[in-house]
Structure 1
């Protein structure tokens, strides 16, 4: 693989990791909003799950950033994106007492978040399949084998 392709993969890893590093840190610093969404979805132990989600996002985001266990992190994040997309963003929003236009706007935003999650799942599946590139900790450790010669 060319050095240009490896540089592009590195830049893609930076972009793909930033959201989860920042989101994970935010959940760990203040889990209340995430815990509320988890509780509203009917899941138990919402605060504990918010902390676990934050830890998962932070650790897996850092793994992608530095290219460590990248394939495992990629598959885990792809599954996480599909799960959270379906559970938290796979439905219309209807807040009682809100005007129809406001609920329509919220539903549109939720649909965009759902599509974002599916798009990210595809990107993470691709990263898991093709690997982190030469500019990664996996490559330095000798555990990266390019999927395509």
Structure 2
């Protein structure tokens, strides 16, 4: 497989969870807000809407390879934040598994932020793709 095919596969796999999660939040915004407030964050409804929009838009941008580096870095930060705030509960094995998954996903985003989207992307079509960072 070429690097471009592998980068496309990475983008699709990483984007999938955020597209579905963001879309799902639109239909369960009150449940999302309840979960957010359960960890003590303020303005839970506003944060729930922001999370839904961010996850859907960022997931779609990543999928098509638009502003891939910036999107990957933003998703890495979001994923780390969510992992620490919602899942870092050492006494709960299931939450810690979710936390470790968030760490792994963030690692994938950091790698994608380093390499960019590859030639099979909107970035490449628009001529905005940059070579991998040194």
TM range (shorter): over 0.9
The answer to whether the aligner puts 1:126 opposite 2:111 as a matched pair is yes
TM-score (norm 2): 0.94
Q: Distance in 2 between matches of 1:10 and 1:30?
A: 30
Q: Which has the larger radius of gyration?
A: 1
1:109 counterpart residue number: 94
Q: Distance in 2 between matches of 1:115 and 1:27?
A: 22
1:141 counterpart residue number: 126
TM-score (norm 1): 0.85
Q: Which moved more, 1:33-42 or 1:131-140?
A: 33-42
1:33 counterpart residue number: 31
The answer to whether the aligner puts 1:24 opposite 2:9 as a matched pair is no
1:67-104 C-alpha deviation (Å, 9 max, x unpaired): 001001000000001100000001146xxxxxxxxxxx
1:104 counterpart residue number: none
| TM-superposed deviation, 1:36 | 1.3
Unaligned runs of at least 5 residues, structure 2:
none
Secondary structure at the aligned position of 1:133 is classed as coil
Secondary structure at the aligned position of 2:2 is classed as helix
Q: Which runs of 4+ in 1 moved over 3 A?
A: none
Q: How many equivalent pairs are there? A: 134
Q: Which moved more, 1:43-52 or 1:68-77?
A: 43-52
1:100 counterpart residue number: none
